[in-house]
Structure 1
């Protein structure tokens, strides 16, 4: 079941967005979308095990290494990796009670993992660009 417009608007109220697979390479969607979100005032936590700093901020290796509260997890990893990311998100929600939603960017989908995330209380958006949705709903 896709997130409703109301649920998407609620996710856009997030303050802190952890971006799994955030790239340090301008011109890639995994860099440009988080940069746009940062410009819009979101606190973007770039998660990238191959870089120490992305978007001017320290980049943790994994979601489990993020010490700050996280409202939304934005995913720029292949669909095959979504299941383990959902496992991490669910564990984080159980420990910190801070994650409200999971956003899988355009081209990324795993229905079974999305169902597990929903069962854990997360709002899930699949195969949709967060930047496009922000422009659509917050223009």
Structure 2
């Protein structure tokens, strides 16, 4: 299975804390506007961006490994070529902390092999869909 069902997406929309890989400080970019929207909807957004100290009023961390608190969902705004490495980091976190429900790959981002590894580990994976759009549709 390569695509998440609406039921799985609804489950991910019910999370509290989202680590956003590639979160941008530049308004007008999807990697800024989508997390900002989610933050306004009440989600706790953890920006992951090694090039920024702060994004969306929150301290940015360099990598998923640097997130000290609970994470429910990893939302990815990085090229498809980077997904495998990001999924590997998410799976390591899932094994160590058992606090991850899913991985969301934003519009235009897809890696079927990495998604299969994450699903095999029990995570919900959404590929090539906008979290903001799906929140509006199903939330």
Taking structure 1 as the reference length, the TM-score comes to 0.98
Instruction: Measure, in 2, the Cα distance between the counterparts of 1:118 and 1:22.
Output: 24
Aligned-partner SS, 1:106:
coil
Q: 2:134 maps to what in 1?
A: 133
Cα distance between partner residues in 1 of 2:134 and 2:100: 19
**Post-superposition offset of 1:101:** 0.3
Secondary structure of the corresponding residue to residue 37 of structure 1: helix
Aligned ranges 1:85-104 → 2 under 5 Å: 85-104=86-105
Give the equivalent residue in structure 1 for 2:39.
Answer: 38
Aligned length: 138
**Superposed displacement of residue 87, structure 1:** 0.3
Query: How far does the alpha carbon of each residue in 1:23-70 deviate from its partner, in whole angstroms, 9 at most, with x for none?
Result: 000000000000000000000000000000000000000000000100
Aligned partner of 1:74 in structure 2 is 75
Aligned to 1:118: 119
Instruction: Show structure 2 runs of 5+ residues with no match.
Output: none
**CA RMSD, aligned part only?**
0.4
Q: Superposition pairs for residues 23-62 of structure 1, below 5 Å? A: 23-62=24-63
Deviating above 6 A after TM superposition, structure 1's stretches of 4 or more consecutive aligned residues are none
Question: 1:57-98: per-residue Cα shift (whole Å, max 9, x none)?
Answer: 000000000001000000000000000000000000000000
- Tell me the SS of whatever aligns to 2:19: strand
Instruction: Give me the TM-score of the superposition, normalised by structure 2.
Output: 0.98
**Structure 2 SS opposite 1:50:** coil
Aligned equivalents of 2:38, 2:69: Cα separation in 1: 17
Which structure 1 residue ranges, 5 or more long, are not aligned? none
